[in-house]
Structure 1
Amino acid sequence: MHQTHMIIDGEQLSISSHNAKTIYNPADQEAVAVVSSGTRQHARLALEAAKRAFAVWSETSSEKRAEILHSAAELVRERSETMARLLTQEQGKPLKNARAEILSSADILDYYAEEGRRNIGEWLATHRGRSIVIRQPVGVAALITPWNYPVDLLSWKVGPCLAAGCTFVAKPPSRAPVAATEFLRAVHEAGLPAGAVNVVHGPGEEVGAELVENPISRKIAFTGQTETGRWIMAHAADRIKRVSLELGGNSPFIVCADTDIEKAAAACAQRAFSNMGQICISVNRVYVAEEIAEEFGELLVRQAERLRIGNGLEENVDLGPMFSREQRSRTKEHVADALNKGAELLSGGREPEGEAFDKGYFFLPTVLGGADHSMRIMREETFGPVAPVMRFKTLDEAIRLANDSNYGLAAYIYTSDITTGIRAAERLEAGGVGVNINNVMDHQMPFGGWKESGIGRELGLYGLQSFLEIKHIRLGL
């Protein structure tokens, strides 16, 4: 069985019997790894190590940082197959998707290696002198990440953090820390000074709390639940720490009558059911023009029933299990609530049958018709493979319904009229809008939410800037 160690000040900590935790595969409950579990004291030691390393790493040239980040990316690629198998076993997603996640994380490291080189200042001639504007690393960062994309979302923080000249302590998700720790071990072994990369496992209420509250950390980068984000924001305020929070979502998907219905249905299914709907930008609410709603529903059902479910390590599997019993239970509760309030079950809505599914947290991709905003599934983030469909009469109505949410991470609209698409995108209250595309993420572009979906941006130049302080130096001549 794989052993997953914490890393503090350049050293791997041994796993002792009193603090070891076993990680199980959500597909069959087989043991995957034994993981060391830390305490507040481990978090303090890691922060202190990061503080010592900051004095060295922050003074390292951008060229040298780039060289090391490129080396880290190559190490990740060399070890990608091992990491991908571990990721599938601990999280459940199909191996092909796990491979894509690991390789994407390597691409992020390469991207920020070069973005860091472009962290240049400004020289301004003024009436009585000169002004210089420079950007310097904010300091030690705490990186706290979730289980749905435990490597990719970590790389979004690690890449810009190191490129900016910051050091960090990472807390991977407690229930899926294995592949993320292997990724961080590769980064550490690429040539960074001891203490620049630290990894502490453990519960959020202990390890996470120390990372947020300890005065050493100057930046908190978090992806996870909105409730936790509120707590982090409140406690970081005590010392006016910089925070970036990527929180919950409840993404609407608008289908106009003039669109290519087959393409829209395929795109909707992919974004609603991929990773078993456990994606922050997953389609949560589908609004369809009433004149095409019946046909669209039939096409969406056809797409859902085409997907193959099984253990993520098996070949030709499109969907693995859900991550946990709790996630599946929440999904079933939302479906039951919708059906009790008048929704129609068009497909799925239950666990698949057969011995192969008995031990795992499997659930069929589900399509509901006749949805409305009285239902929890339209108001809360399900984080499961369900696409509830609601009809609309006018685009104004669809946009009003789409914006009727506390969340604003992503939104989608499908139409053959580009003017309609652009104007709708401008009116939708979300940090990212996909017009005739079901993905709002691009390594070079900003990603983040409006309203209760978060604060700050990741990816692109914007992600690097979140780890930098701006300084104005005025010269009298």
Structure 2
Amino acid sequence: MGSIPLFSPDDVNASVESAKYAFSKWSEKSARERSIVLFKAASLVREEQDRLSKLLTSEQGKILPEAKNEIQGFANVLEFYASIAGAVFGTALPKSDYGYSFTKKEPIGVCGAIIPWNMPVLIMAWKIGPAIASGCSIVLKPSQKTPLTTIEIAGIMKRAGLPDGVLEIVTGRGDIVGGAIAKSREISALSFTGSASTGAEVERLSCGTRKRLTLELGGSDPMVVCSDADIDLAVSGAVSGRFYNCGQTCTAVKRLFVFEDIYDSFLSKLKERTEKISVGNGLLKGVMMGPLNSREGLLSIEKLADEEVGKGADIISGGKIISGGDFDKGNFFEPTIIANPDFQSRLLREEVFGPILPVVPVNSLDTAIEYSNNTEFGLGASVWTKNLKDAYAFSEGVDAGIVWVNKHLKIPPEVPFGGEKSSGTGRENGISALEHYMREKTVIISP
């Protein structure tokens, strides 16, 4: 499909210097001037949606409708930050013996971003949107697995009027390029999305550089279905929430807890819906789920399924690698439902990236909350019920940065997003992210 340069630490430092120079000019632009560029970039991305979507599917594997949705999501995020670029205000303080005081918000400086392969375009927008809108410049490293669409969009940003250096793309190995970004003392804020283990290394390398960190480190999201839930709606939510992007999404439904009195009915309908999912090349019409992104990921999912069977769990649907013919050209795995998994299994405790969903019966909301919290992660969670009291009780009791009621997975750009525990620190999206890229200055004027 193409080739990309492998940056060295010196190359990264040169990009940081370019971004530093660009920041001195870009930060002087008014919020309105910055917004015009972002709105123009969003418009151009929408115009090229078909081409960009096909490129994204080709390099990442997701089906074309999901790729189009992600490209649209990129434009949505840019438009949101263009609309609020000037919405962060300081405060005026009462007069006192010290004089008249006020605070102001200023762009923090050169920023860094490290993005993953699973949702590269949308997560790119989550990072560059608030940074550029606030007046910062940003050095962004895409995953080695999915750099092409990111690079294409960077070119579109330039065509929209973004000055050279405001967005620098650096490509190459994570330990080398990502490590250089983390260690740079010229970068004032860094936003990282990836695994918990890599996030810990980014945090270690950043120690002593005094940069602000936002770490989005994945999750093991629970979905709880109560007795009074709309079963058809919940089944649909479980299927789309788990098998979207072949299950390779940080906020995917990864653990399903269903009340005992509806468990059999729910499981039957879930099996029926899951077995209707057509798997294949994401560029083909009618395909509902594409391949996993890597052979490593494919074998990991196969191993998990085999582990559960060995412990006595029941494979309700799927459970195997799909092979033969064109399937041998990709990393295809059957959409899989597993009932009665071992409570201490990795499937119920770790972040699992792939199309495999464990289903567990529970006897109460308290038990569902207890099971939901039985993991080191705390990113997202959902409860499906018509009872507002139960919905509120779940939202209070579950350890998660975002809680959905009768929905899962959707994250509009207006709302803050992030996790608790090992799912990370800081927030993306919303006005919270805009403030992450700004510093507060106090001014005191003597009487």
- What TM-score comes out, normalization by structure 1 length? 0.92
Measured against aligned partners, the alpha-carbon deviations of 1:161-210 in whole angstroms (never above 9, x if no partner) come to 00111101111111110111111111122212221111111001111111
Distance 1:130 1:384 in 2: 58
8 Å CA contact 1:410–1:440 kept in 2: the answer is: no
SS in 2 for 1:473: strand
> Percent identity over the alignment?
36
SS in 1 for 2:275: helix
2:185 corresponds to 1:233: no
Structure 1 segment 93-108 matched on structure 2, within 5 A: 93-108=62-77
- Partner amino acid for 2:366? D
Name the counterpart of 2:51.
82
Structure 1 segment 40-439 matched on structure 2, within 5 A: 40-128=9-97, 129-439=99-409
Distance 1:472 1:57 in 2: 22
What is the CA distance between 1:457 and its match in structure 2?
A: 0.3
What is the CA distance between 1:440 and its match in structure 2?
A: 5.0
Distance 2:11 2:274 in 1: 46
RMSD: 1.2
SS in 2 for 1:117: coil
8 Å CA contact 1:73–1:106 kept in 2: the answer is: yes
8 Å CA contact 2:383–2:391 kept in 1: the answer is: yes
Distance 1:187 1:208 in 2: 22
Distance 1:329 1:115 in 2: 44
Distance 1:375 1:473 in 2: 56
What is the CA distance between 1:233 and its match in structure 2?
A: 1.3
Measured against aligned partners, the alpha-carbon deviations of 1:263-285 in whole angstroms (never above 9, x if no partner) come to 11111111011111000001111
Name the counterpart of 1:14.
none
SS in 2 for 1:35: coil
Residue range with higher mean Cα deviation, 42-51 or 190-199 = 190-199
Residue range with higher mean Cα deviation, 273-282 or 192-201 = 192-201
8 Å CA contact 1:109–1:159 kept in 2: the answer is: yes
What is the CA distance between 1:467 and its match in structure 2?
A: 0.6
- Partner amino acid for 1:380? E
- Partner amino acid for 1:312? G
Measured against aligned partners, the alpha-carbon deviations of 1:111-156 in whole angstroms (never above 9, x if no partner) come to 1011112122222223333221111111111111000011110000
2:2 corresponds to 1:33: yes
Residue range with higher mean Cα deviation, 116-125 or 417-426 = 116-125
Measured against aligned partners, the alpha-carbon deviations of 1:404-433 in whole angstroms (never above 9, x if no partner) come to 110000001111211111111111100001
SS in 2 for 1:194: coil
TM superposition outliers: structure 1 runs of 4+ over 6 Å: none
SS in 1 for 2:160: coil
Name the counterpart of 1:10.
none
Name the counterpart of 1:460.
430
Q: How many residues align?
A: 446
SS in 2 for 1:238: coil
SS in 2 for 1:33: coil
Which sections of structure 2, spanning at least 5 residues, go unmatched? none
What is the CA distance between 1:439 and its match in structure 2?
A: 2.8
Distance 1:114 1:434, change over 3 A: same
- Partner amino acid for 1:460? G
- Partner amino acid for 2:308? A
Structure 1 segment 435-446 matched on structure 2, within 5 A: 435-446=405-416
What is the CA distance between 1:356 and its match in structure 2?
A: 2.4
8 Å CA contact 1:367–1:387 kept in 2: the answer is: yes
Residue range with higher mean Cα deviation, 187-196 or 245-254 = 187-196
What is the CA distance between 1:372 and its match in structure 2?
A: 3.4
Name the counterpart of 2:420.
450
- Partner amino acid for 2:79? D
